[in-house]
Amino acid sequence: MHATAGSDVTTAYQATPKARPGSPNVVVILLDDTGFAQLGAFGSDIATPHIDRLAAEGLRYNRFHVTALCSPTRASLLTGRNHHAVGVGFLVDLPLALPGYSARVPASAAPLPRIMRDAGYNTMAVGKWHLVPRGERSPAGPFDRWPLGYGFERYYGFLQGDTNQWAPNLVCDNHYLDPPATPAEGYHLSEDLAEQAIRFVLDQKHSAPAKPFFLYWALGATHAPHHVAPEWADPYHGQFDDGWDRWRERTFARQLASGVVPAGTILTERPSWVPAWDDLSPEARRMHARGQEVFAGFLTHTDAQIGRFLSCLDDIGQLDDTLVVLLSDNGASAEGGINGTINEHRFSARLPETVAANLAAYNDWGGFRSYNHYSWGWAWAGNTPLRLWKRYTWLGGTRTPLIIRWPRGIQSHGEVRRQFCHVVDLAPTVLDVCGVAKPDVVDGVRQDPFDGASIRPTFDDPSAPSPRSTQYFEMLGSRSIVHGGWKATTDHVSKGVADEEKLLVGSRDFATDRWALFRLDDFSEAEDVSAEHPDVVHELTEVWTAEAERNHVLPMSDALTSRLEAVIPPAYPPGPRAVFRPGPPVCDEALPFLGAGFRIEIDVEVPAGDAEGILCALGDWNGGFAIFVAESRLVFAFRPAGELALATSDDPLPQGAHLLAATCAPQAGGVELSLECDGAPIGSATGPVAPSFTFQHGGTQLRIGSDRGFPVVDRYEPPFPWNGTIRQVVVTSAMAVRPTGTYADEVTSSLHSD
pLDDT digits (tens, 9 = 90+) for 335-375: 999 999 999 999 888 899 999 999 999 999 999 999 999 99
Q: Are 725 and 605 in contact (CB under 8 A)?
A: yes
Structure confidence at residue 16 (pLDDT): 87
413: in domain? yes
Structure confidence at residue 6 (pLDDT): 53
Q: Are 95 and 568 in contact (CB under 8 A)?
A: yes
Tell me the CATH number at 486. Answer: 3.30.1120.10
Structure confidence at residue 749 (pLDDT): 37
Structure confidence at residue 495 (pLDDT): 87
- Percent share of the chain, pLDDT over 70: 96
Determine the 3-state secondary structure of 45 from DSSP: coil
Is the Cα torsion angle 355, 361, 363, 365 positive or negative in sign?
negative
15: in domain? no
Residue type, position 663, single letter: T
pLDDT digits (tens, 9 = 90+) for 161-215: 999 999 999 999 999 999 999 999 999 999 999 999 999 999 999 999 999 999 9
Residue 122 to residues 152, 154, 215, 327, Cα–Cα distance (Å): 8, 9, 8, 22
Residue 356 to residues 352, 374, 540, Cα–Cα distance (Å): 12, 15, 47
Structure confidence at residue 557 (pLDDT): 85
9: in domain? no
Residue type, position 216, single letter: Y
- How far apart are alpha carbons 601 and 729 in whole angstroms? 6
Q: What is the mean pLDDT of residues 680-692?
A: 94
Question: Residue 489's domain spans which residues?
Answer: 474-566
- 583 with 561, same domain? no
Q: Which of 541, 566, 591 is the last residue of a domain?
A: 566
Closest CA to 291 of 240, 215, 352: 240
pLDDT digits (tens, 9 = 90+) for 702-754: 999 999 999 999 999 999 999 999 999 999 999 864 433 444 444 443 333 33
Q: Which of 456, 473, 490 is the last residue of a domain?
A: 473
- 290 with 275, same domain? yes
Q: How many domains is the chain partitioned into structurally?
A: 3
Q: Among 46-55, 259-268, 490-499, which is the least confidently predicted range?
A: 490-499
Confidence of residue 14 (pLDDT cuts 50, 70, 90): confident
Contacts of 247 (CB under 8 A, 6+ apart): 45, 240, 381
481: in domain? yes
Confidence of residue 560 (pLDDT cuts 50, 70, 90): low
Give 459's DSSP letter.
Answer: S
- Where do the H-state alpha helices sit in 322-408? 345-348, 355-360, 376-382, 395-398
How much is the pTM?
0.95
pLDDT digits (tens, 9 = 90+) for 490-504: 999 998 889 999 999
Q: What is the mean pLDDT of residues 575-581?
A: 96
- 582 with 451, same domain? no
What dihedral do alpha carbons 633, 636, 642, 645 form, nearest 10°?
-90
pLDDT digits (tens, 9 = 90+) for 74-127: 999 999 999 999 999 999 999 999 999 999 999 999 999 999 999 999 999 999
Q: What is the mean pLDDT of the chain?
A: 94
Residue 139 to residues 136, 143, 557, 574, 587, Cα–Cα distance (Å): 8, 9, 32, 13, 7
CA neighbours closer than 13 Å in the CB half-sphere of residue 373: 26
pLDDT digits (tens, 9 = 90+) for 220-233: 999 999 999 999 99
Contacts of 731 (CB under 8 A, 6+ apart): 577, 578, 580, 591, 592, 594, 598, 599, 600, 702
Q: Are 347 and 315 in contact (CB under 8 A)?
A: no
- Percent share of the chain, pLDDT over 90: 91
Structure confidence at residue 126 (pLDDT): 98
**4 pLDDT higher than 60:** no
pLDDT digits (tens, 9 = 90+) for 607-635: 999 999 999 999 999 999 999 999 999 99
592: in domain? yes
Tell me the CATH number at 736. Answer: 2.60.120.200
